[in-house]
Amino acid sequence: MKYFVRSFSATLFLLAIASSSLAEEHLTILHFNDMHGHLENGARIATVVKNIRAENEAKGRHTLVLFGGDLVSGTPVSSRFRGRAEIEFLNEIGLNAMVLGNHDFDYGRKALSDMQAAAKFDIISANVLEKETGKTLEKPYVVLDLAPDLKVAVFGISHPGTPLMTSSESVADLDFENPVKISKKTVKERRKDKKANVLVAPTHEGVQNDVTLAKKVPDIDLIVGGHDHVEKDAYCQRVKEEVLCQTPCNGAVIGKIDLTIDGNKVERLSFGLIGLDGVKEDKHARAILAPYVDDVNREMKEVIGVAVKDYPHWREVGKTTDLGLMLTTAVKNSTGVDIAMLYGSGIRRSLKKGNITRGDIEEILPFDNTIFTLKMSGADIEWIRERMLKKGKSMQFAGITSGDKLEPGKMYTIATDSFLYNGGEGLSVFKKKGKDAKNSGILVRDTVINYIKKEKRI
């Protein structure tokens, strides 16, 4: 195994007061986040987790495995099976708990309920509440009794901006409360009943929000986060006496944090990333994943056309990328509208020169967004462009360039994706101001696949 390690010692205060005569305990926390359906390394992750757990058991030490949200939505396997394959994988590695990420709502509440029913671990979030009852959608926290002198409280925090980042229908009946407010309440409850002497918070809210949480809620011993898709060198940082960590995305590495708990003190001895290159696949995990992965992978190898050049994509505000233009052109041509617009953050990677496979397009456009057509005034379209520019959000266009100015009173036919039409990023203007809206029922990625098949070379 390859370790990327950065170590330092730090004394952290326990949530509850424990006797100084308690025996010293050792705890390893393994964690990762933002897998987005990428199971390519699943069997290797299983090997790492099982080996470390066995090593710790032999030494009388303890292991906790946590996931920091966004388990699903990003690969053909994920979209085909609506998260079932990912849940089977987490069950196999003996996950203890995962926090809800914004993309874990992408497939709808029925799919989320099915995932929860199949999970042999706890799905948690303290700040996702049902509007009607005020109760949490999932457990706010769990207390894991690892040893007589080691009880770990694990509470989850989801991104408060989730309603702007997933299907609006999936979260219409939910409130996403302020993480700091809810965390203070949760910490107070843990301190009062003294059920746990260590408090760990798996979060899915991004590094900057985690920094704010660490500053304003100093009694959390450790934050293991998600959402930002960080690079390896940004894995962990210390904010005052708290440590917060987030791994890179897509199951590329595993985070490992070693703690020594001695009486009323927690000392973090080391942390590092475990690389998966050269790790042998766990045979049992591979057998579990095979029925989900193998058939879909064969389907994804179908060549649908040829890219005569690289089509790069980056989420730069105010610019349409080469890939963004190709995708929106496919939508524009298929619908015959004046202008096509897609949400830049829904385009997940670039396209390389050479053969284009079905899998390439499914990975570039992994979300199940359909195409809506409607009519809008030039003034309203310009408002959308300015709004997204001010928010720092990427939009991709065909039929209009950044220098074009539309006639305010003229009605234009447009096509967009269901995420934007249904209020994604707070854009209620499509429903409020649009006319003659129609849902084609056709997925954006299927339209692009058919366009490439027809053009053959792009």
Give the CATH number of the domain where residue 12 resides: 3.60.21.10
CATH number at residue 312: 3.90.780.10
Q: Name beta bridge partners: 244.
A: 223, 237
Rounded average pLDDT over 60-87: 96
CA distance 86 to 169: 23
Instruction: Please say if the pLDDT value at position 433 is more than 90.
Output: yes
Instruction: Please say if the pLDDT value at position 318 is more than 90.
Output: no
Provide the pLDDT for residue 263: 61
Rounded average pLDDT over 335-344: 97
Q: Of 19-23, 219-223, 247-251, 393-397, give the lowest mean pLDDT range.
A: 19-23
164-187 confidence digits (pLDDT tens): 999 888 999 999 999 999 999 988
372-429 confidence digits (pLDDT tens): 999 999 999 999 999 999 999 999 999 999 889 999 999 999 999 999 999 999 899 9
Confidence of residue 6 (pLDDT cuts 50, 70, 90): very low
Q: 148 and 197, same structural domain? A: yes
Q: 442 and 349, same structural domain? A: yes
10-59 confidence digits (pLDDT tens): 333 333 333 344 578 999 999 999 999 999 999 999 999 999 999 999 99
CA distance 116 to 367: 21
Structure token pair of residue 135: 């109760």
**Residues whose CB falls within 8 Å of the CB of residue 133, separated by 6 or more in sequence, listed in order:** none
Q: Answer yes or no: are the C-beta atoms of 214 and 239 closer than 8 Å.
A: yes
Q: 219 and 367, same structural domain? A: no
Number of domains making up the chain: 2
Q: 211 and 176, same structural domain? A: yes
Q: 342 and 271, same structural domain? A: no
**Residues whose CB falls within 8 Å of the CB of residue 92, separated by 6 or more in sequence, listed in order:** 46, 284, 285, 288
Last residue of a domain, one of 296, 315, 347: 296
Instruction: Please say if the pLDDT value at position 442 is more than 70.
Output: yes
Q: Answer yes or no: are the C-beta atoms of 271 and 257 closer than 8 Å.
A: yes
Report residue 264: phi and psi, to 5°: -105, 25
Q: Name beta bridge partners: 75.
A: none
pTM of the entire structure?
A: 0.86
Instruction: Please say if the pLDDT value at position 1 is more than 60.
Output: no
Last residue of a domain, one of 256, 274, 296: 296
Confidence of residue 269 (pLDDT cuts 50, 70, 90): low
For 321-340, b where at least 16 C-beta lie within 10 A, e where not — what string? Answer: bebbbbbbbbbbbbbebbbb
Q: Answer yes or no: are the C-beta atoms of 214 and 244 closer than 8 Å.
A: yes
CA distance 328 to 443: 13
Provide the pLDDT for residue 14: 32
Q: 175 and 47, same structural domain? A: yes
Q: Report the Cα 423 to chain-centroid distance in Å.
A: 20
Q: 127 and 29, same structural domain? A: yes
Confidence of residue 316 (pLDDT cuts 50, 70, 90): confident
Provide the pLDDT for residue 188: 82
Provide the pLDDT for residue 13: 30
Domain extent, residue 148, equals 2-296
Rounded average pLDDT over 242-269: 88
Q: 361 and 264, same structural domain? A: no
Q: 288 and 152, same structural domain? A: yes
Q: 394 and 420, same structural domain? A: yes
Q: Is 166 strand, coil or helix?
A: coil
Confidence of residue 191 (pLDDT cuts 50, 70, 90): low
Last residue of a domain, one of 251, 272, 296: 296
Q: 128 and 224, same structural domain? A: yes
CA distance 98 to 193: 24
Report the percent of the chain where pLDDT is more than 70.
93
Closest CA to 217 of 246, 244, 196, 197: 244
Instruction: Please say if the pLDDT value at position 262 is more than 90.
Output: no
Q: 349 and 254, same structural domain? A: no
Environment class of 135 (CB within 10 Å of its CB; exposed 0-12, middle 13-18, buried 19+): exposed
